Structure 1
Amino acid sequence: MEWIYYDSKTGNVARFMQKVAELTGWTVQKIQPDMEVQHEGHLVTFTTRFGEVPETTRDFLQSARNYLLSVSSSGNRNWGKNFALAGEKVAAEYGIPLALKFELSGTNEDVNEFIAIIKGKHYGNKRRSKELDFAQ
């Protein structure tokens, strides 16, 4: 059983997570203020402004970073080099491997790729492994 913690502002990440949950039965939990994390899991967030990490995600990372096995991020390809940049910034700042970058609410292919990455890549890895960092 996997745990996925997600942050969504416009609903794109929430729609992505709903597709993942329907296909896998994994526990997906929207980040809430002062949320206490008790299970290792994966973070999925959005990118805001011009490639920034949302404040709600940053607040969550303050208490949950030691529980996170990977980070994935949503963005819009129209932002060019800032596309889904929040995931790269979280990976660099917190030492959490970047698993996937996807556009808006993701395609079915993105959803399947995310599931495959989580199922097959993080088991047995050390948390700071670069093995997942292929999304760039």
Structure 2
Amino acid sequence: MQKIVFVCLGNICRSPTAEAVVATKARARSQAILVDSAGTGDWHVGEPPYGPMQTAAARRGYDLSGLRARQVSAGDFEAFDVIVVMDEANQRAVETLRPQGNTTPVRLMMSYVPDIGVTAVPDPYYTRNFDEALDLIEVAAEGLLAVLDP
């Protein structure tokens, strides 16, 4: 079973959405994976995903209501097979936590769709474009699941 953690800045928009989208799509494909999400910052620890993000996700059938924000830690490098980040800033922040000698891959979410010409999922907390974030996360989730063992 693959274990994946998704990471964004505050763990209230992009990463919990990626967690829910990938979990939902994996269940539909009968793929056994374990997913989680975290943020590089600690501002929202314990809080549910951002209301407008929950609303946008619910319109597409994804339930974020039970998720709670947490901060990424060095222990995630041991607990997960891959750490998937939403943008390059998240990637740099996560890499500062890497334990010496650890080889767990840290990949950009959009690297799972290299032909799209987009490297980051823009943060809808700032852009206010929740549907754009969902569009990108959905297409990247398909690419991610395609490379995992069935």
Instruction: State the TM-score, normalizing by the size of structure 1.
Output: 0.49
Bigger proportion of residues as strand? 1
Query: Looking at CA atoms only, which structure, 1 or 2, has the larger radius of gyration?
Result: 2
Higher relative contact order (CA 8 A, sep 6+): 2
